[in-house]
Amino acid sequence: MKIGFIGLGNMGAPMAANLIKAGHEVTGFDVAGVTVEGAANAGSAAEAASGQDAVITMLPNGEILRSVYAEIVAAGSKGSVFIDCSTVDVDSARAAHELAAANGLLSVDAPVSGGVGGAAAGTLTFMAGGSDEAFSRAAPLFEIMGQKAVHCGAAGAGQSAKICNNMLLGISMIGACEAFALAEKLGLSAQSLFDVVSTSSGSCWSVNTYCPVPGVGPQSPADNGYKPGFAAELMLKDLKLSQQAAESVSAQTPMGARATELYDGFVAGEGKGRDFSAMIEKLK
C-alpha cells in the first residue's frame, strides 16, 4: 500500500519504520523535520496525505488533530482510509471522523497501548472506532504495527476505550504504590508482598507485570531508575482526558478524579520526566 504517515515522534517513527520493513511505500511528514529511513519526505501534511491508500496520524492532542485533519482531508483520495493513532479527547476524534466522511474518506480512531517499546517491536494494541469497512481496511496495517486490534465500536469508541483503560491503570498503579509503601513501613519485604498479591485477590497488571519496586517481579522501569516506559506526564494527560469525558456525560469517577490530582502534583514536582510508577517514591 501507499501510506502517508504524519507525526514521526517517539511513537510514530518506529511505527512507520515497521510499515516500511513490511514492504509498504511510506511518505512521512513531521513539523519538527524528523525523517524515517526508507520513507519519502513530504513538504507538508497535505502532501503526505495526497494520493495515498491510507493515511496515519500520530499527534500530540485534539487541537492539533483537528487542525491537521482540516488540512489533509481535502488532499485524500476518495475511498482511502484515514487512521488516527493519537490519544485525544473523544469529541476531537469524532470531529476528525466527520471531516473525513464529508470528503468521502473512511476513518478509524485507533489509539494505542504498549509505549515506545511496543511501537519499535510491533507489539502495540490498537483500540479502534469506526465503521466495519474502515476497520477492515485498516486491520492489515494494525497487524504489522501491533499484536492485537480490537474494534470497539463506532466513531470515537477507540478513544473511549483508551481513556477508560488508562484511568483504571492510573488508579491501580497508585493502589500498588500505596500497598508497597505501607508494607515497607510495616516491616514486610517487597518480595513477600509481591508473592502474595500476584497470586491473590489484589493481583493486577500494575503489580504482576509492572511492579513499582526495584528487583521484584519482571523487569520494569523501577529496575532502571524509573526511566520512562510510560511517562508520568502521559499518564496525567490521559487522566485529564478521562475527567473531561466523565464531565461531558455526567459520570461519577471519584477515584479517577483523585488519581488525576495526585499525578498533577507529582508531575509538577519530582515526577516530571520519570515513569508513572515512580509515584511510589512520592507516597513513601
Do 143 and 175 fall into the same domain?
A: no
Same domain, 218 and 137: no
CATH number of the domain bearing residue 267: 1.10.1040.10
* Tens-place pLDDT, residues 45-79: 999 999 999 999 999 999 999 999 999 999 999 99
Residues 226 and 94 in one domain: no
CA atoms within 13 A on the CB side of 168: 8
| 7 and 133 share one domain | yes
Enter the C-alpha cell of residue 70: 482540516
Cα separation, 117 vs 125, whole angstroms = 12
CATH classification at residue 9: 3.40.50.720
* 154, 176, 209 - which closes a domain: 154
| Residues ≥6 apart with Cβ < 8 Å to 165 | 113, 127
pLDDT averaged over every residue in the chain = 97
User: Is the same domain home to 88 and 205?
Assistant: no
Indicate which residues carry an active-site annotation. 162
Would you state the pLDDT for residue 266? 98
Domain identity same for 46 and 87: yes
Question: Could you tell me if 186 and 210 lie in one domain?
Answer: yes
Q: Is the dihedral of CA 164, 169, 170, 172 positive or negative?
A: positive
The pLDDT score that the predictor gives to residue 116 is: 86
Q: How many domains does the chain have?
A: 2
Query: Which one-letter DSSP state was computed for residue 75?
Result: G
pLDDT (tens digit, 9 = 90+) per residue, 111-135?
999 888 899 999 999 999 999 999 9
3-state secondary structure (DSSP) of residue 188: coil
**What pLDDT does 115 receive?**
86
pLDDT at 216 exceeding the cut of 90? yes
Residues 9 and 132 in one domain: yes
3-state DSSP assignment of residue 217: coil
Same domain, 137 and 228: no
Same domain, 179 and 269: yes
10 Å CB burial of residue 175 (0-12, 13-18, 19+) is middle
**pLDDT tens-digit map of 162-213:** 999 999 999 999 999 999 999 999 999 999 999 999 999 999 999 999 999 9
Task: Please give the Cα distance from 177 to 10 (Å, whole number).
Answer: 27
| Calpha distance 104→95 (Å, rounded) | 15
107 within 8 A of 130, measured Cβ to Cβ: yes
Average pLDDT over residues 247-275: 97
**Alpha helix segments (H runs only) across the chain:** 12-21, 45-49, 62-72, 90-102, 115-121, 132-145, 157-185, 190-197, 205-208, 232-248, 254-268, 279-283
pLDDT cut 90: percent of the chain above it = 98
Q: Which of 154, 170, 199 is the last residue of a domain?
A: 154
What does the pLDDT read at residue 165? 95
Whole-Å CA distances, 127 to 11, 161, 253, 280: 16, 7, 22, 29
Is residue 8 very low, low, confident or very high in pLDDT (cuts 50, 70, 90)? very high
pLDDT for the residue 181: 98
At 72 the pLDDT is: 98
pTM exceeds cut of 0.85: yes
What's the CA gap between 93 and 114, in Å, rounded? 20
Looking up cell 497488571 gives 205
Separation of alpha carbons 234 and 163, rounded Å: 12
State yes or no: pLDDT of 278 exceeds 90. Answer: yes
Determine the pLDDT at residue 27. 98
The closest of 11, 55, 20 to 39, measured between CA atoms, is: 20
Label residue 131 exposed, middle or buried (CB < 10 Å: 0-12, 13-18, 19+): middle
* pLDDT score recorded for residue 146: 98
Instruction: Say yes or no: 209 and 251 in one domain.
Output: yes
Give the range of the structural domain holding residue 105, as residue numbers without chain letter.
2-154
Span 19-45, average pLDDT: 97
Which SS3 state, helix, strand or coil, does residue 18 take? helix
The residue from 135, 154, 173 where one domain ends is 154
Q: Are residues 78 and 102 in the same domain?
A: yes
